[in-house]
Amino acid sequence: MTAEQYIGDSLERTNVFSLIVNIEDGKEVALDDLFNTDATFAKDLLGSIMKVYEKDEKVQKQIDEKTLVRAIEKQNWNIALKESHIHFYIATEQNDSQPFVELKVSLEQLKQHAKKDLTLTAKNEKSEKSKKAKPKKQQKEKKQPKKDTSKKYVALTFDDGPSPHVTPLILETLQEYDAKATFFMIGSRVEYYPSVAKQVADAGHEIANHSLWHPDLTKLSYKQIEAQFEETSNKLEQATGYKPSLIRPPYGAFDHDVEAFAEKGNYAIVLWTVDSLDWKAPNKQFVYDRVISGVNDGAIILMHDIHQVTADALPEIMETLVKEGYHFVTVSELLEILDEKKPGPIYGKM
């Protein structure tokens, strides 16, 4: 698990926490469940890690040899098993912006110390991967019967902004296609970048509410949920002149309190049918494939106007959608077309 802390747009700090779980019994696995952790193991492990360290100049700049050796001797690390390697996350101590370094050692090198089930763990992880690849294909097949429909609608939505770097790029592309989209903004970011929020509203896009600082609302009380949305609503009104009528809970996580708040405030809870996964996309092709293989008439597409890769992928996504006969509408327009009533939750048409 990686936690990234942003101040404004810059990555301030990354923290890592790891947990190895045996998927057969759900139990946590420690290093000495995997290896016979005797003195020769410790010596070999230290040697293996140092070999990796000596080859990696980037890591050498982030942590000095003394600190590294001390951390290894004290086993002061987080470890993760990923296929054929064991990854060590070690605290740099002196470097605040880079609190951890990652060093990976191949399991092959430690094979003679391994307990029996180590190879099993690695194999399981691989079969898990091939299982995951299948649903993608099914999604592609699903879309085919829709091809001959003449009027099709899609709502593009952008979350987590505004961003002074990415949002203007998204606006440019939308303008090229004369398309309107919906921006679910975070209140604290609107406070930082009110002029970017205004730019979005002035271009005729729908402004919507994505909470004040993106917490998991299911962990908050009704009062706190109310504060998250109302403070954001006030900031949006101040910056853009518009009061949003749509809310989107962070992570799509909502409970009865969120529903009750939406009902009382006459808001619609808006989720999505297609998740672009742009926040973890390795390249623009990935974002393009996710959107194009998932889209259908009445879809709501989830993207984020804080990642460069999203801005890079958008022109080709829109080009293809236009060719396939889609019209771009805001979420509120789509809700009218679909005759969806508040407060939802509304996903769009599957």
Binding stretches for Zn ion (CB under 5 A): 159-160, 250
Residue number closest to Zn ion, CB atom: 159
145: amino acid identity, one letter: P
Shortest distance (Å) from residue 279 CB to Zn ion: 9
Candidates 210, 289, 297, 304; catalytic one: 304
Least distance (Å) between residue 167 CB and Zn ion:
14
User: What is the number of other CB atoms lying within 10 angstroms of the CB of residue 336?
Assistant: 11
Given the complex with Zn ion, which of 157 and 240 has the nearer CB atom?
A: 157
The answer to whether 304 is a known catalytic residue is: yes
Q: Is 129 exposed, middle or buried (0-12, 13-18, 19+ CB in 10 A)?
A: exposed
The residue (of 216 and 263) whose beta carbon lies closer to Zn ion is 216
Task: Give the DSSP H or E segment for 223.
Answer: helix 222-240
Neighbours of 138 (CB within 10 A): 9
Q: Which is nearer to Zn ion, 7 or 133 (CB)?
A: 7
Q: What is the DSSP letter of 21?
A: B
The residue among 121 and 157 lying less far from Zn ion, judged by its C-beta, is 157
**Which residues, in sequence order, are CB contacts of 90 under 8 Å at separation 6+?**
63, 68, 71, 72, 76, 77, 100, 101, 103
Contact 334, 300 (CB under 8 A): yes
**Residue 159 or 206 with smaller CB distance to Zn ion:** 159
* Amino acid occupying residue 231: E
Rounded to whole angstroms, how far apart are CA atoms 215 and 9? Answer: 18
- Strand pairing class (100-106; 85-91): antiparallel
We find the least distance from the C-beta atom of residue 316 to Zn ion, in angstroms, to be 23
Amino acid at 63: I
The DSSP bridge pattern shows strands 206-209 and 326-328 to be unpaired
Q: Indicate if 327 belongs to the active site.
A: no
Least distance (Å) between residue 6 CB and Zn ion: 12
Cis peptide before 343 (omega within 30 of 0): yes
- The amino acid that residue 102 corresponds to is E
Least distance from C-beta 210 to Zn ion, angstroms?
A: 6
The residues that are catalytic are 159, 304
